Amino acid sequence: MDKSLFRYIWRFSKREQLAIFAVVIASLPFYFWSLDLPKRIVNDAIQGGAFAEGAAEARFFIIAFDLPAFMGGGAVELFEGFRVDQLGLLFGLSMLFLALVLINGAFKYVINVAKGALGERMLRRLRFDLFSTTLRFTPSTLRTVKSSETATIIKDEVEPIGGFIGDAFVQPLFLGTQAATAMAFILIQNVWLGLLAAAVVGVQFVVIPRMRRVQLRLGKERQIASRKLAGRIAEIVDCMEAVHVHDATAWEKAEIGERLHHLFDLRFRIYKWKFMVKFINNLLAQITPFLFYAIGGYLALKGQLDIGQLVAVIGAYRDLPPPLKELIDWDQQRLDVQIKYDQIIQQFLPDKLVPLDVLAAPETDDGPLAGPIVVDRLRISDPHGSVLVEDFSFELPFPVRLAIVGNGGPGPSTLARALARRHDEYAGRITIAGRDLGRIPESQLGRYLAYAGSEPALFPGSLRENLIYGLRNRPVRRIPDDGPQARRRRMEAERTGNPVDRLDDEWIDYERLGVKDADGLDGVLLAALGRIGMREDVYRFGLLGRVSSQRMPDLAGKVVEARRRLRTMLAEQGIENLVEPFDPARYNAQASIGENLLFGVAVGPAFTGRGRAVNPVVRKALSRGGLTDDLVVIGARITETMTEIFRDLPPGHPLFEQFSFIDADELPDYEDILRRIAAKGLKSLIGEDRSRLIALALDYIEPRHRLGLLDDRLRQAIVAARAIFRQELDGSVWARQLDLYDPERVCDAAPLRENLLFGRIAHGIADAQSRVMGVVSAVVDELGLREEVEKVGLGFQVGPGGRLLAPHQRAGVNLVRCLIKKPDILILDGALVAYGEEQARRIREGLLAMFEDRCLIAVLRDEAQAEGFDALIVFEGARAELRRCPAGGASRRDAGSAAAAGAVGGHG
Amino acid sequence: MTLDSEVQSLRQVPMFRDIDPARLKLLAFTGERVHFSAGQLFFRQGDAADAAYVILEGQAEVTLDTPSGPLKVAELARNDVVGEMGILSDTPRSATVTAATPVVALRIDKRVFLELLNQFPQMSIAVMRELAKRLERTNARLVRSNS
């Protein structure tokens, strides 16, 4: 990126800028003509100049030009023009004037659009360049970079620059030439008037920006002064006690008074300047016509200037100030934007960036990193200069399984990070398979080396997407798309230095992974998850996931079968009372009143929360079923209890969120409703209040909330209303917002678990949940659905930063992401700390077996954990020592790989 | 049985005797009524303590695992509280509790209970008072057994 904004703009938009220049130049003759035309209208048409010698007709719109002398001279007339009378000439010329206005407008439009497109393209390029630079930040730079700042710079701060880019060259040219044309026109009409106008414009052009600059400087001073005032007031308020204890009020008053005076002074000066600028601007704008009228009129009377010229000059002069004003604005904007650009460039020009050739994808694959690791006189210090790793040299064969152990110091982790090139500021040399670590292209390193740290970086998205993050290095196959949209997209990308890769392309090299397609890859993912004990978790995610009957018809069909099988199996075990199934003809006691009424799962907002209570279809069903008043009464009873028991909890208290029917901030509203009921009775409630109460009632579940509000009559009435509701819903606009329960069909909107149960687990029976889920699990296994369920689980959304996963699950994702790349070298640096001791040991053992023929480097807590590793590095402070090392790689390798093949049966 | 009857039961529990009815209602509402069939486990010795139980109906047994097999140490009946020590001291269950007959109990979640103690000093004091009384009784018993 260039240090100067203008050079940057010019480098990447030369062609477009020149094209716009050409259009600007082409527009000038028309502009000039439009200035000239009023003169002809006044002189020839209105004053009758064209009919001076008593001619009855004049010719209009003659197209002719003079031949140059070398072609023999003379004139060629292409069109001899229309013959018109005076009125005709007036209208003809006026129409011409109108046409010119339109042409000028069209030019302006074209230029503006081109400028806009240019600005947007440059903005896109600038943003992308900044982002690319971010990707090149070295690990040490990244420590000092604030992510939110970088994001705002790329998003917000470059925006005004982008807006300016389109104007950067074109605006001064366009406005300048326009002003110059008008100026030239005036000069041609009359030199004196022209000089007069030029003098006034000159004054305006020189004086105003200077005055404005003073004004700006004062404005900045004011901003700083008022910021200081605010800070000072805050200080005084915070230290109020000291102020009173020491009787310093008079002092503080004087201090603030002083500041206010300074502020007043600044503000007053700003006002003076502001209005002075306005005054001078106005004066100059008004005084010139005065001079024109006076001097122009005098010249006209003297016969040195005709009336038409005078009118045209005044018209042309009217066109002068706007471009000038915009030019002055442009100049200010330029200063402003250049400052902003400099700031941004400083942010994005750290001392060291990763060299481009390391990041670029080379055409050739230099082969795996399956070779010895040689570290020569490695010395690493932290930014403050304290030594983390003291002069350390060692050599390891390949394959090797190395444990690095320390006494809690930063040494082991630093070494591991250096080996993974996550720490790039070191002295000495690291080579892997004979290649300098610092120069290995990222595409190679990313492919053959995996590093799992203690803080997994997860992206929002599905579990699957996070697991395969390391496989999507570059598109392996482009999906051809030659539609006009795609072509345009590609062209724009090429014009702005953006990549043409599309997210829709095929990014995963299935062949390399030994699978056929995405489904096969799922199998690989599940196997890898199983190896670190995460399959059960994925199964549970699967039960929370949704099954689409359209995308997964097989599974959907089997789910309905599983539903039936579950019922019989529960009955066989005598625990069918643990699940109350959804029966269209019965009230489900374990579900809320609302669920019983709707008997389906909401897809849109119309049937969730308050929406349910105000939905016309619901209300109609309630009133036809004669339930409205009952629900209002139930709502009032719930309100009474809730206001009683939650009144003393502060708003936002976790218990509120978890248990109360009523939001903390709505509690006062509900208390008001209760007061109204107490004063005037239930019947007096208005619609809004009734809706609120009904909303509460719809959430009520008798066995859970135990307020004793339901009886058999109500239950029957609700089941009856359910049928009415279905009739009303059918064909209404809300029909698509509710996925109705149907025993023979999968409910797309409900999680898989709900679909399997097709009912509710009974409240208040000890261990009901786990017992039922045990049976569900048995049914899933019996029907061979487990893997399908797990595949649904791979679609689980992990949330921002993986927040919806437990720490050990995040660590698992991190690990599996590394494993499925099948790296030659795997470096574990605290990747297992989220696991319990026992589980960490099991995973370690699994990895040791898996990496028998490869390289595994693990940072461990103590030597006791290092059992089974071939090599051991022990840190004492910053001093390290290679304690144990396999004699030679070769002899062990054969035995090792044979054993590995037997034990693990391949990996991935 | 409704919330109100549970509140009545809670009032019989010494630990909760002096607490405001509105608070007890909150405690009952945030609790969960659980049915155990005869022989079903409340929890096992060594489990993590996640909840306390107030017995509303039926009887339960407290047993200790000993090398010579389970040893019954206490019987619980209506209005007894069990498991509250574990959630207060954050230690694993010190004994196994099993339903002797079909039991209905109010399960009070550990997190919710601590949240309530945090919020309402009155409840904390009531719990402390009960614990102090128990300590006093234990001391007295120790003195008696030593003398």
Distance from CA of B97 to the nearest CA of A (A): 13
Chain-centre distance of CA B20, in angstroms? 19
Which chain B residues are within 8 Å of A765, Cβ to Cβ? 34-35
Contact B33 A766 (CB under 8 A): no
- HEC-encoded secondary structure of A518-532: HHHHHHHHHHHHHHC
The mean pLDDT of A439-467, rounded to a whole number, is: 89
The tokens of A679 are what?
Answer: 């004063």
Rounded Cα distance, A795 and A791, in Å: 7
The residue ranges of every structural domain in chain A are 1-63+76-189+328-354, 191-304, 359-458+805-904, 476-507, 510-582+741-804, 610-728
The tokens of A294 are what?
Answer: 């006076």
B11-14 contacts, C-beta under 8 A, 24 or more apart: B12/B78, B12/B79, B13/B54, B13/B79, B13/B80, B13/B81, B14/B130, B14/B133
What's the confidence (pLDDT) of residue A861?
87
What's the confidence (pLDDT) of residue A184?
86
> What is the per-residue pLDDT across A788-836, written as a single tens digit (0 to 9) for each?
899 999 999 998 888 899 999 999 999 999 999 889 999 999 888 888 8
Q: Could you tell me the strand order of the sheet in which A825-829 lies?
A: A449-452, A825-829, A855-860, A400-405, A871-876, A879-884
Query: Helix, strand, or coil here: A659?
Result: helix
Higher pLDDT, A496 or A51: A496
Asked if residue A863 has pLDDT above 50, the reply is yes
Closest CA in chain A for residue B53? A766
Are A1-63+76-189+328-354 and A359-458+805-904 the same fold in CATH?
no
Contact B3 A705 (CB under 8 A): yes
Higher pLDDT, A865 or A324: A865
Which chain A residues are within 8 Å of B51, Cβ to Cβ? none
Only one residue has tokens 């018993």, namely B141
- HEC-encoded secondary structure of chain B: CCHHHHHHHHHHCHHHCCCCHHHHHHHHHHCEEEEECCCCEEECCCCCCCEEEEEEECCEEEEEEECCEEEEEEEECCCCEECHHHHHHCCCCCCEEEECCCEEEEEEEHHHHHHHHHHCHHHHHHHHHHHHHHHHHHHHHHHHHHC
Distance from CA of A644 to the nearest CA of B (A): 6
What's the confidence (pLDDT) of residue B102?
94
Which chain A residues are within 8 Å of B58, Cβ to Cβ? none
Asked if residue A787 has pLDDT above 70, the reply is yes
- Quick one: which H or E segment has residue A883? strand A879-884
The mean pLDDT of A121-140, rounded to a whole number, is: 88
Among A87-91, A388-392, A398-402, the range scoring the smallest mean pLDDT is A87-91
What's the confidence (pLDDT) of residue A790?
92
Closest CA in chain A for residue B4? A707
Query: Helix, strand, or coil here: A880?
Result: strand
Asked if residue B60 has pLDDT above 60, the reply is yes
Query: Helix, strand, or coil here: A677?
Result: helix
Distance from CA of B24 to the nearest CA of A (A): 9
Which chain A residues are within 8 Å of B42, Cβ to Cβ? 766
C-alpha separations of A785 from A241, A538, A559, A770, A789 in Å = 71, 13, 9, 19, 6
Q: Which of B2, B26, B35 sits opposite A765 (nearest CB)?
A: B35
Question: How would residue A602 be classed by pLDDT, with cut points 50, 70 and 90?
Answer: confident
> What is the per-residue pLDDT across B45-54, written as a single tens digit (0 to 9) for each?
888 888 999 9
What's the confidence (pLDDT) of residue A443?
84
Give the burial class of A880: count Cβ atoms within 10 A of its Cβ; 0-12 exposed, 13-18 middle, 19 or more buried. buried
Contact A706 B3 (CB under 8 A): yes
Range of the domain at B95: 3-146
Question: How would residue A588 be classed by pLDDT, with cut points 50, 70 and 90?
Answer: very high
Which chain B residues are within 8 Å of A761, Cβ to Cβ? none
Q: Are A803 and A457 in contact (CB under 8 A)?
A: no
Contact B2 A708 (CB under 8 A): yes
Amino acid at A754: E
Higher pLDDT, A248 or A313: A248
Asked if residue A134 has pLDDT above 80, the reply is yes
The tokens of A120 are what?
Answer: 């947007």
What's the confidence (pLDDT) of residue A66?
66
Rounded Cα distance, A473 and A615, in Å: 49
Cis before A399 (ω within 30): yes
Rounded Cα distance, A466 and A797, in Å: 10
* Angle CA A250–A255–A258, to nearest 5: 125
Mutate to test the interface with B, among A706, A765, A771 (most CBs of B within 10 A): A706
Q: Which of B32, B40, B116 sits opposite A764 (nearest CB)?
A: B32
Only one residue has tokens 């579990």, namely A463
Give the burial class of A42: count Cβ atoms within 10 A of its Cβ; 0-12 exposed, 13-18 middle, 19 or more buried. buried
CB burial of A208-231 (b: ≥16 within 10 Å; e: otherwise) equals: bbeebeebeebeeebeebeeeeee
The mean pLDDT of A207-221, rounded to a whole number, is: 82
Question: Given 3.30.160.20, 1.20.1560.10, 1.20.120.1630, 1.10.340.70, which CATH number is that of A1-63+76-189+328-354?
Answer: 1.20.1560.10
**How is A230-297 classified by DSSP, letter by letter?**
HHHHHHHHHTHHHHHHTT-HHHHHHHHHHHHHHHHHHHHHHHHHHHHHHHHHHHHHHHHHHHIIIIIH
Q: Which of B2, B25, B30 sits opposite A655 (nearest CB)?
A: B30
Asked if residue A897 has pLDDT above 60, the reply is no
Residues 6+ apart with CB under 8 A from A551: none
Residues of A near B (Cβ–Cβ under 8 Å) read: 641, 644-650, 653-655, 658-659, 703-708, 763-767
Rounded Cα distance, A350 and A372, in Å: 34
Q: Are A368 and A448 in contact (CB under 8 A)?
A: yes
Question: How would residue A904 be classed by pLDDT, with cut points 50, 70 and 90?
Answer: very low
Q: What percent of chain A has pLDDT over 90?
A: 24
Q: Are A405 and A866 in contact (CB under 8 A)?
A: yes
Q: Which of B25, B35, B112 sits opposite A766 (nearest CB)?
A: B35
Q: Which of A648, A655, A765 sits opposite B34 (nearest CB)?
A: A765
Amino acid at B98: T
Asked if residue A261 has pLDDT above 90, the reply is yes
Question: How would residue A64 be classed by pLDDT, with cut points 50, 70 and 90?
Answer: low
Closest CA in chain A for residue B26? A645
Closest CA in chain A for residue B25? A645
> What is the per-residue pLDDT across A429-452, written as a single tens digit (0 to 9) for each?
999 988 888 888 888 888 899 999
- Count of other CB atoms within 10 angstroms of residue A109: 10
Closest CA in chain A for residue B39? A766
Asked if residue A20 has pLDDT above 70, the reply is yes
Residues 6+ apart with CB under 8 A from A634: A593, A693, A696, A697, A700, A709, A710
What's the confidence (pLDDT) of residue A539?
94
Q: Which of A649, A704, A708 sits opposite B119 (nearest CB)?
A: A649
Closest CA in chain A for residue B34? A764
Fold of A359-458+805-904: Rossmann fold (3.40.50)
What's the confidence (pLDDT) of residue A894?
38
Rounded Cα distance, A45 and A43, in Å: 6
Only one residue has tokens 């000072």, namely A232
Mutate to test the interface with A, among B4, B20, B29 (most CBs of A within 10 A): B29
Which chain A residues are within 8 Å of B116, Cβ to Cβ? 655
Closest CA in chain B for residue A764? B34
Asked if residue A95 has pLDDT above 50, the reply is yes
Which chain B residues are within 8 Å of A646, Cβ to Cβ? 26
Distance from CA of A673 to the nearest CA of B (A): 20
Q: Which of A681, A694, A679 shows the shortest CA–CA distance to A631?
A: A694
C-alpha separations of B137 from A314, A491, B134 in Å = 109, 87, 5
N residues, chain A:
908
Query: Helix, strand, or coil here: A107?
Result: helix
Amino acid at A861: R
Query: Helix, strand, or coil here: A493?
Result: helix
Count Cα neighbours of A9 within 13 Å in the Cβ-side half-sphere: 24
Give me chain A's average pLDDT, please. 85
What is the interface pTM, i.e. ipTM, of the complex?
A: 0.86
The tokens of A902 are what?
Answer: 């037997």
Q: Are A410 and A362 in contact (CB under 8 A)?
A: no
Domain count, chain B: 1
Contact A706 B116 (CB under 8 A): no
Q: Which of B22, B30, B33 sits opposite A659 (nearest CB)?
A: B30
Contact B3 A644 (CB under 8 A): no
> What is the per-residue pLDDT across A228-250, written as a single tens digit (0 to 9) for each?
888 888 888 888 889 899 999 99
Distance from CA of B126 to the nearest CA of A (A): 18
Q: Are A531 and A846 in contact (CB under 8 A)?
A: yes
Q: What percent of chain A has pLDDT over 70?
A: 94
Which chain A residues are within 8 Å of B34, Cβ to Cβ? 764-766
C-alpha separations of A551 from A421, A555, A760 in Å = 43, 9, 26
**How is A770-833 classified by DSSP, letter by letter?**
HHHHHHHHHHHHHTT-HHHHHHHHTT-B--GGGTTS-HHHHHHHHHHHHHTT--SEEEEESTTT
What's the confidence (pLDDT) of residue A63?
67
Asked if residue A357 has pLDDT above 80, the reply is no
Q: Which of A630, A635, A732 shows the shortest CA–CA distance to A622?
A: A630
Chain-centre distance of CA A904, in angstroms? 43
What's the confidence (pLDDT) of residue A887?
62
Q: Are A587 and A596 in contact (CB under 8 A)?
A: yes
- Count of other CB atoms within 10 angstroms of residue A592: 18
Q: What CA dihedral angle connects B134, B138, B143 and B147, to 10 degrees?
A: 140
Residues of B near A (Cβ–Cβ under 8 Å) read: 1-4, 6, 22-23, 25-26, 28-30, 32-37, 40, 42, 112, 115-116, 119-120
CATH number of domain containing B16: 2.60.120.10
Rounded Cα distance, A8 and A20, in Å: 18
What's the confidence (pLDDT) of residue A900?
38
Only one residue has tokens 């005044």, namely A314
The mean pLDDT of A454-471, rounded to a whole number, is: 90
Q: Are A645 and A653 in contact (CB under 8 A)?
A: no
